[in-house]
Amino acid sequence: MASEHFDVVIVGAGLSGIGAGFHLQRKCPGKSYVILEGRDCIGGTWDLFRYPGVRSDSDMFTLGYSFKPWTEPKAIADGPRILNYVRETAAENGIDKHIRYLHRVKRASWSSKEARWSVEAERTTSEGATGTARFTCHFLFMCSGYYNYESGYSPEFPGAKDFAGRIVHPQNWTDDIEYAGKRVVVIGSGATAVTLVPEMAKTAAHVTMLQRSPTYVVARPAQDHLANRLRARLPAKLAYQLIRWRNVMLGMYFFQLARRKPERVKQLILGGVKMALGPDYDVGTHFTPRYNPWDQRLCLVPDGDLFKAIREKRASVVTNEIDTFTPKGIRLKDGSELEADVIVTATGLNLQVLGGLDVDVDGRAVDFARTLSYKGMMYSDVPNLASAFGYTNASWTLKCDLTCEYVCRLINYMGRRGYRQCMPHNIDPGITALPSLDFTSGYVQRSIAKMPKQGSKRPWRLYQNYALDIVALRLGKVDDGVMRYS
């Protein structure tokens, strides 16, 4: 089968992939590219997740693209509005014309002799038949996210088969799931759980958030009133950039404060919860984690909707461990039972490196767990391949935007000098390999052994700092002595 050739193959038509297409068009004119998308539409995460209330847990002034102002009134946006924003960006810039849908990339092989990738994708026709499509490219840009799109993490709960009601994971939510007037138990305490509980509580008989241990929860206004006022008085792009930078700086300050003075930040967060729930609520049991703030990602509740649902007795929190499922619900370790008609297992995601892609370089299979991450986007001894991976302590798109800009700088630099291959290579014996993510969250710890490592020094170190990355990626040298060109 013949292969189609492009200068760049982008994998994934979600938030990152559409951003990558935009930057390539603007900063690398004349370079051909294609976006391969395994699903049948644009949107990635924001099309996949359909559970009630799905929304961002970052403000849209930082989750949005640097080049396209967010103009909706709500800064904490729901999934459909974010999806519309991504699709609008693609249509406005003609990026949608470069997408091949139902092309699930499976393998990529690099040939140093030819200085190109051979990419193999499973293609599904409109009739449901599958075949293979092949592409070649000089540069492979992975924008496929960091988790498995096929299924979320669902632990084996004892007695689950005995439960008479319906059990659903949020990643597999469908329109036929009925919960109005029913008793619902949501298992989990992360971002998905705190989103589901207040939304389902609007129509359910009662919703219980069952958690093994608490998470830090912070309330924030859904609308940024200063941003809305600035938009009414200033040009859209100027107002957007001002609020974007304000939010970036506030986020960086809060994260650094949490690292330097964790007890102070802890009391600040818990003080907000106590104000929201009143002096008689057991905040110590249900909202006081065993870890320090930002050892795991904080949970955001717009307009304090979770706290409001609890105050109004439409929702409740139970902190306990599961003994077994029963026909009527869940029996806990203390012997009590939560009766339920619907159980939602908001138990997390399965992380996946480069969308589960099988990669080889000159016939040698690449084990990404044995590679070092270069500037948070490329991998040691893997040529002409980058991936968009966002921040864990700030909005995903901030880092992805910088990554796209850097990839364009790299491609242009190679073009000007006639290079065909670039490959980060560690020559410093003093570099120590460290875990790439320092979060204690379960979804991270379950998969950390499979993830690429970071190094103990630049450019292998991930600082999770937007200001430092602007200096390194937008202003730093492309030929830094670590990247090998040939």
pLDDT (tens digit per residue) in 50-69: 999 999 988 999 999 999 99
Distance (Å, whole) CA 440 – CA 193: 18
pLDDT digits (tens, 9 = 90+) for 284-305: 999 999 999 988 888 999 999 9
Distance (Å, whole) CA 398 – CA 418: 31
* pLDDT(147) > 90: no
What percent of the chain has a predicted confidence (pLDDT) above 90?
77
**Which pLDDT value is given to residue 204?**
97
Which region, left, alpha or beta, applies to residue 434 given φ > 0 means left and ψ of -120 to 50 means alpha?
beta
Which region, left, alpha or beta, applies to residue 348 given φ > 0 means left and ψ of -120 to 50 means alpha?
left
**Which pLDDT value is given to residue 152?**
82
Contact 68, 90 (CB under 8 A): no
What percent of the chain has a predicted confidence (pLDDT) above 70?
98
Higher pLDDT, 481 or 422: 422
* pLDDT(453) > 70: yes
**Which pLDDT value is given to residue 220?**
93
**Which pLDDT value is given to residue 294?**
86
**Which pLDDT value is given to residue 30?**
92
Extract the tokens encoding 124: 């599904």
Q: What end-to-end distance do the CA atoms of the chain give, in Å?
A: 30
Longest CA–CA separation in the chain, Å: 71
**Which pLDDT value is given to residue 441?**
62
How far is residue 380 CA from its own chain's centroid?
Answer: 23
Extract the tokens encoding 56: 């961002």
Chain-wide mean pLDDT for the chain?
92
Strands 183-187 and 99-100: unpaired
Domains, the chain, ordered by start: 4-149+350-485 (3.50.50.60), 160-345 (3.50.50.60)
**Which pLDDT value is given to residue 435?**
79
Distance (Å, whole) CA 293 – CA 464: 16
The residues facing 219 across adjacent strands are 301
What sign for the dihedral angle of Cα 190, 149, 172, 76? positive
> How is 247-278 classified by DSSP, letter by letter?
HHHHHHHHHHHHHH-HHHHHHHHHHHHHHHH-
Distance (Å, whole) CA 300 – CA 241: 23
For the chain, helix, strand, coil in percent to 5 are: 35, 25, 40
Count CB-CB contacts under 10 A for residue 260.
Answer: 9
Nearest Cα to 194, choosing from 271, 305, 303?
305
**Which pLDDT value is given to residue 428?**
83
Extract the tokens encoding 343: 């159980």
- Categorize the per-residue pLDDT at 41 as very low, low, confident or very high, splitting at 50, 70 and 90: very high
Extract the tokens encoding 196: 């589901």
Strand, coil or helix: 341: coil
- Categorize the per-residue pLDDT at 467 as very low, low, confident or very high, splitting at 50, 70 and 90: confident
- Categorize the per-residue pLDDT at 462 as very low, low, confident or very high, splitting at 50, 70 and 90: confident
Contact 43, 143 (CB under 8 A): no
Contact 124, 60 (CB under 8 A): no
**Which pLDDT value is given to residue 444?**
64
Distance (Å, whole) CA 357 – CA 129: 22
Which residues have C-beta within 8 Å of that of residue 468, sequence separation ≥ 6?
none
- Categorize the per-residue pLDDT at 148 as very low, low, confident or very high, splitting at 50, 70 and 90: confident
Burial 373-401 (b: 16+ CB within 10 A, else e): bbbbbbbbbbbbbbbbbbbbbbbbbbbbb
- Categorize the per-residue pLDDT at 357 as very low, low, confident or very high, splitting at 50, 70 and 90: very high
